[in-house]
Chain A
Amino acid sequence: MSTSTSTQQFPRFDRVERAVHWCNATLFLVLLATGASLYFPQLSTIVAHRHTVKTIHVYAGLLLPVPLLLGLLLPGSRQFRRDVSRINRWTTDDRRWWSRRTRSTAQLGKFNPGQKLNAIFVAAAIVLMLMTGSIMRWFEPFPDSWRTGATFVHDWVFITLLVVIVGHIVFAFSDPDSLRSMVRGWVPEQWARRERPRWWADEVAARSGPADRRDASGDAAGDVGAGREQGPGEAGARASEMPVGD
């Protein structure tokens, strides 16, 4: 592959995925901010307005599963569902990645195991926070110990989420190409080739397959809209406008 092709735009996240990510991120930030000011005594006394903060927190919490559910159910989100199944599957290369000794030999797919774990934890956290938050808010039908237990779980998942989300943001800023792909949808092809060799190889193989297969926009390139938007043809045309080494 020549140099010009290796700086080409390589589609990574389609519009649906980016929309789901940023809706989720916004809701999480609102929930963490309001949750922190309900939870940390030092913040509660500064923010006060406990009732208002609580109302915002409850409504944002009820909205939390919506972006992910839309992503799973909307007809145009085939790539999102495919990435969910990629996050589910752990290969022998993923196992190799965990050890520093064997990490360099791991031929990673689209996501590294850390990203997979982050996504899985966040998904489980959404379910748990919704469940425990609902018990805390609508406690009447439940035994006291459930309300206390729900508060206990809600608090611990919150503390863990704080750590995980800060980690997620730190890692994102340490890899600008990867971070930008959550905004503009693509990574430089050389990034894909270097960081996610198995994914890159699969995508390239899918592209160079029979023409009818590509038009069907079946698996690798994602949904039809995103495929057109970021497809190889248009990406090539745009390549001249791109700053080199982006």
Chain B
Amino acid sequence: MTDAGSPIGRRVFLGLVGAGTLGVLFGAKVQDFLANLVPKNDPTGLSTLLPIGDHFRYYTITSGFPKRAPQDYRLTVNGLVEKPFTLTYAELVAMPSTMLVKDFQCVTGWRVPKVHWTGVKLSDLLDRAGLQPSAKAVRFTSFDGAYTESLTLEQAQRDDVMVAYDLDGKPLSSDHGGPARLYVAPMYGYKSCKWLSGIEVVDHVIPGYWEGLGYDVDGWVGRSNGRDDQPTST
């Protein structure tokens, strides 16, 4: 042991741990910067594999991603309404459509910038059913059999709340909650009930699945769940 060498190993180790710690403190800013460098529609799709935080992560609360072909899809609107009805996928898509370009913000921190959503305004569906005077809130159910959500009537009638069936110009896939899902633009992603099959008008807010796990019932982006994200809607 003539040449004991220098303790480079310790320095590299501490350097890596230090860099990682800085990454925790300032990674959010670095990530925003990186996300802006990568083109939105990368034809190779490779950028979606890199951790720059601007792509969807797919959640399901059941043991799989429920699949339903458009021809088997049904959306029921009922509860405290004058004329309850059920729509097929074709009937839903045939209704007057609306389009929104908004960031999709998850309560766990990831945000997908400038997502193009196409669908039917929830208020149009409610108007078509006709609200009874006792209507105060809306409850949403999913054909996965487990996912539920809720909004106050006032929230549900906003212009940036829709039943979406297209995402970035393509029919909404099962991973994203297709054939159709709720999309509540000003709130965190968990409020946008996936695999939407039922819209029930009720007289009080019934907290949904994620609220049962501790998330806020009023999930405004930047104003709930102890988070301070930039709003996705104004």
Residues of A within 8 A of B (CB): 38-41, 44-45, 48-51, 87-94, 116-117, 119-121, 123-125, 127-128, 131-132, 135-136, 140, 144-153, 155-159, 202
Q: Are A120 and B13 in contact (CB under 8 A)?
A: yes
> Any chain A CB within 8 A of the CB of B43?
no
Q: Are A124 and B23 in contact (CB under 8 A)?
A: no
Give CA–CA (A158, B58) in the complex, Å: 18
State the 10 A-B residue pairs at the shortest beta-carbon distance, nearest first: A155-B51, A149-B27, A152-B27, A88-B9, A89-B5, A124-B16, A90-B8, A153-B23, A91-B5, A128-B20
- Closest partner residue, chain A, to B12 (CB atom): A120
Since A120-B13, A140-B226 are in contact, a sample of 12 more A-B pairs with Cβ atoms closer than 8 Å, ordered by chain A residue number, is A41-B57, A41-B58, A45-B58, A88-B7, A89-B9, A121-B12, A123-B13, A124-B13, A131-B21, A131-B24, A148-B109, A202-B1
Residues of A close to B175: CB separation below 8 A: 41, 44-45
Report the minimal beta-carbon distance from B229 to chain A, rounded to whole angstroms: 7
Per DSSP, chain A at the interface is helix
Q: A41-B56, A45-B175, A144-B109 are in contact. Are A116 and B9 (CB under 8 A)?
A: yes
Question: Which stretch in B61-69, B74-82, B197-205 binds the other chain?
Answer: B61-69
Residues of A close to B30: CB separation below 8 A: 152
With beta carbons under 8 angstroms apart, the residue of A94, A120, A132, A148 that contacts B20 is A132
Q: Are B16 and A144 in contact (CB under 8 A)?
A: no
Residues of A close to B110: CB separation below 8 A: 148, 151
Report the minimal beta-carbon distance from B34 to chain A, rounded to whole angstroms: 9
Q: Are B227 and A44 in contact (CB under 8 A)?
A: no
Give CA–CA (A136, B24) in the complex, Å: 11
> Any chain A CB within 8 A of the CB of B37?
no
Q: A124-B13, A128-B16, A158-B51 are in contact. Are A151 and B59 (CB under 8 A)?
A: no
- Closest partner residue, chain B, to A147 (CB atom): B109
Give CA–CA (A246, B174) in the complex, Å: 55
Residues of A close to B29: CB separation below 8 A: 145
Residues of A close to B6: CB separation below 8 A: 89-90
Give CA–CA (A131, B18) in the complex, Å: 12
Q: A45-B65, A45-B175, A51-B61 are in contact. Are A89 and B7 (CB under 8 A)?
A: yes
Residues of A close to B46: CB separation below 8 A: none
Q: A144-B229, A152-B53 are in contact. Are A89 and B4 (CB under 8 A)?
A: yes
